[in-house]
Amino acid sequence: MGKWINGSVVKWVALTVLVSPIVSGRTFELDDSDCERVAMIASDAPRLSWAGYPGVSGYGTGALMFGNSDTRKSAFLIAFPIERIPKGMRITSATLSMNCILNYENKHRLQVRRIIGDWGDGVSHLYRRTLPEKVPWTKPGAAAIGADRARRATAVVQLKGMGEFSVNVTEDVELWYSQAVPNNGWILTLESEGAVNFYAPTWSPGHWRLDVSYEPR
């Protein structure tokens, strides 16, 4: 599993003995329990690293609530380690999967983009990290296109109902594997007004998964 780091950012550390990827032939599978960095940021909790689900007395971690409206914006940040993919391979496919547990209108669009800048301990709506020093996002919420997040969206998921949804992230994983750009993971945001809920890694690990297939060059 993982542990809390510095009491702020949720940071999961993959342990070789206890947590290892499933390698079957030429497939590399990781889930959210393997993740190096995970966070949920929101504009109405601008200094909170894990603003998962708003409640009467604050935020809970049982679910992720994506919201996009005039009064509240939120985003989910997740970075998978891919260093254990053998060297000298060619990435043939990569898929990011997620599990929706509540969809209020069945018309929502969830956008996935690469995160450009490094982020870590103390990440929040205002800062990409606060330790060892505060480093702000170019625009709060990692919203600056081309500075905080990639100019082009990796994918836009049309959420129809509930259950598992998957997106093609092959190009992103190729860029990270070849070290053309740093692996800072993805940022997910809701692009339509309303709200939708997903399982949170802190509550039920295993609902966010990265599957990578590769072959020798």
Q: How far apart are CA 34 and CA 10, in angstroms?
A: 12
Mean pLDDT of the chain: 83
Distance CA(132)–CA(187), nearest Å, equals: 23
Q: Which of 151, 159, 182, 156 is nearest to 169 (CA)?
A: 156
Mean pLDDT calculated for residue range 121-134: 95
Residue 105 scores a pLDDT above 60: yes
Burial class (CB in 10 A: 0-12, 13-18, 19+), 104: exposed
Q: What is the 3-state secondary structure (H, E, C) of 62-111?
A: CEEEEEECCCCEEEEEEECCCCCCCCCEEEEEEEEEEEEEEECCCCEEEE
Residue type, position 37, single letter: R
pLDDT at 128: 97
pLDDT for 2 equals 38
Per-residue pLDDT tens over the stretch 60-94: 666 787 777 655 688 999 999 999 899 999 999 99
- pLDDT value for 191: 85
Which range, 14-18, 38-42, 106-110, 181-185, has the best average confidence (pLDDT)? 181-185
Say what the pLDDT of residue 72 is.
Answer: 62
Handedness of CA 158, 160, 162, 168 (dihedral sign): negative
